Amino acid sequence: MKILHNLLHCEKLFAMPPKRKKKDSEHSEKSNSRRISLKELAAHLKLSPTSLSIVLNDAPAASAIPQETKDRIFQAAAEFNYRPNYFARSLRAQRSFTIGVIVPELSDGYSAMVLNGVEAALSKEGFFYLTASHLHREDLLEHHPKMLLERQVEGIIAVDTPIRFQSTLPIVTVSGHEKIKGVTNVILNHRHAAELAIEHLFSLGHREIAVIKGQDFSSDTEVRWTTTVEAARKGGIIINPKMCQQLEGDMPSPEIGYVAMKKILQRGKNFTALFAFNDISAIGAIRALEEFGLRVPADVSVLGFDDIYTAAFHNPALTTIRQPLFEMGSIAAVMLLERLGSETKNGFPPVISVEPTIIVRQSTAPVLKT
C-alpha cells in the first residue's frame, strides 16, 4: 500500500503544471503570442536592425562586430523565438532569393557532393535553392525548368544536364560543355585528368589498359574518352577497342560497372589495369573481377574517377582522379550570385576550369612480374 501511495503521489506531481514565476509567464506569453519583428528585437537589444541582420545572416560585414555583441544577438533571437520573415523580405525587395538547381538524380555521390558546395555558398548569402531531378528523361528536361521559373527562381544551376530551355535568367552549368551565349560552364580540366591517370598506370608498368566509358547521356563521356585515348597514345599505349565497354542504363548503382566489366572479361583479352569512368562503376567492376578470380590490385589495378565519399572506404580503398565536386558546386553558386548582383550581362567568363588531382590508395599496384 505504501508503494501504491507513493506512485499515486508521483502521478499527481507529474500531472500538475509546473509553477512559473509571474515574470517568466509574462515573458513566455510575450514571446509566444505573436512573431517578434527584427525591429522589435533590435529595440530590445538597443542595436540597429542592420546590425542584427548582418549577424543573423552571417554576412561578410559580421566579422567587424564584436563576438560579445553577436552572442547577445543570438541569445535574444533564441529567447524570443525570432525567425526572419523571408516572405516580407522578398516582397520588399521584389526578389525570391531562391535559386533553381537541376541534377540528373540525387542518389549518386556525384550530385550530392556538387549540391553540398552549392548549398554552402548560397547559405552564406541568405539564398535558398530548389532542386529538381530529370532522371535523363526528355520530358523532365523540358518540364522542370518551367516549374522552377514559375516558382520565381532568380537563376539556374544545371549539373551534368543539357540545356533544353530558353531563359532570360542567368544560368551556370557544372560539367556542361555546350557553348551557349550567356551561360558559364564550370568544368574539369579533363586533359590533365587523363594525363594523371595514364601517367600513374604507366609508372606502375601497365601497358594493357581496359577502359569503361560513360553513358551516352553524360556530358563528360566524350571529352573523357578522347582525352584518355590521346594521353595513352602519347605514352605509347594503344587502347584496344575490345578492352573497352560503355556503361548502359541510368541506375546510380555499381551494378552498371559490374555488368560492363563482365562483358570485357567475356572477350578473353588480357589486361593489367582498368580505368573506369567514375568511382561507382569502378566499385562494380572490382566485384566482377573478384568473381572472375582476379585479385585487385595484385592481378588487375583499378583506377576510378571523382573521389566520391565512399571511395576511401571501399575494400580495397579506391585510387581515383579527384574531381573537386564540392568546389565546383561552390564556384557555380558564387558565379551565379555575382551575375545576379551585376547590372550588366557581359563580362562573365564562358568557361571556368578547375584542376584535378590523383588520390593514390590501395586499388592500384605495380604489374605483377611473372
Q: For residue range 34-71, what is the model confidence (pLDDT) as tens digits?
A: 668 888 888 999 999 888 888 887 767 788 899 999 99
Task: Look at 50-54, 188-192, 361-365 and tell me which has the smallest mean pLDDT.
Answer: 50-54
State percent of the chain over pLDDT 70: 85
The pLDDT of residue 114 is above 80 = yes
Are residues 290 and 194 located together in one domain of the fold? yes
Confidence tier at 347 by pLDDT (50, 70, 90): confident
What confidence score (pLDDT) does residue 133 get? Answer: 92
Q: pLDDT tens, 232-290?
A: 999 999 999 999 999 998 888 999 999 999 999 999 989 999 999 999 999 999 999 99
9 located within any domain: no
What confidence score (pLDDT) does residue 55 get? Answer: 85
Q: Report the alpha-carbon distance of residue 364 to residue 19 in Å, rounded.
A: 68
Q: What is the DSSP letter of 214?
A: P
What confidence score (pLDDT) does residue 254 get? Answer: 95
Q: How many domains does the chain have?
A: 3
All cell numbers assigned to 7: 506512485
Q: Report the alpha-carbon distance of residue 129 to residue 301 in Å, rounded.
A: 40
Closest CA to 340 of 204, 172, 181: 172
Q: Report the alpha-carbon distance of residue 1 to residue 24 in Å, rounded.
A: 39
Q: 88-92, 142-146, 169-173, 318-322: which has the highest mean pLDDT?
A: 318-322
What confidence score (pLDDT) does residue 222 get? Answer: 95
Are residues 183 and 331 located together in one domain of the fold? yes
Are residues 199 and 175 located together in one domain of the fold? no
Q: pLDDT tens, 289-342?
A: 999 999 999 999 999 999 999 999 999 999 999 999 999 999 999 999 999 887
What confidence score (pLDDT) does residue 344 get? Answer: 61
Are residues 150 and 178 located together in one domain of the fold? yes
Are residues 274 and 344 located together in one domain of the fold? no
Q: What is the DSSP letter of 62?
A: G
256 located within any domain: yes
Rg (alpha carbons) of the chain, rounded to whole number? 28
User: What secondary structure, in 3-state letters, does 185-212 show?
Assistant: EEEECHHHHHHHHHHHHHHCCCCCEEEE
Confidence tier at 10 by pLDDT (50, 70, 90): very low
Mean predicted lDDT score pLDDT of the chain: 86
Are residues 184 and 245 located together in one domain of the fold? no
Are residues 164 and 268 located together in one domain of the fold? no
Are residues 304 and 215 located together in one domain of the fold? yes
Q: Report the alpha-carbon distance of residue 365 to residue 265 in Å, rounded.
A: 20
What confidence score (pLDDT) does residue 37 get? Answer: 82
293: left (phi over 0), alpha (psi -120 to 50) or beta: left
Are residues 130 and 203 located together in one domain of the fold? no
What confidence score (pLDDT) does residue 186 get? Answer: 97
What confidence score (pLDDT) does residue 168 get? Answer: 82
Task: Check which CATH number belongs to the domain holding 253 and give it.
Answer: 3.40.50.2300
Residue 263 burial (CB < 10 Å; 0-12/13-18/19+)?
A: middle
63: containing domain: 30-79
Are residues 196 and 302 located together in one domain of the fold? yes
Q: In this structure, how many other beta carbons lie within 10 angstroms of the beta carbon of residue 166?
A: 8
Which H/E stretch holds residue 352? strand 351-354
Q: pLDDT tens, 124-150?
A: 888 889 999 998 888 999 899 889 988
What confidence score (pLDDT) does residue 125 get? Answer: 86
Are residues 319 and 331 located together in one domain of the fold? no
Choosing from 13, 47, 79, the residue where a domain stops is 79
Instruction: Match 589495378 to its residue by C-alpha cell.
Output: 301
Are residues 241 and 316 located together in one domain of the fold? yes
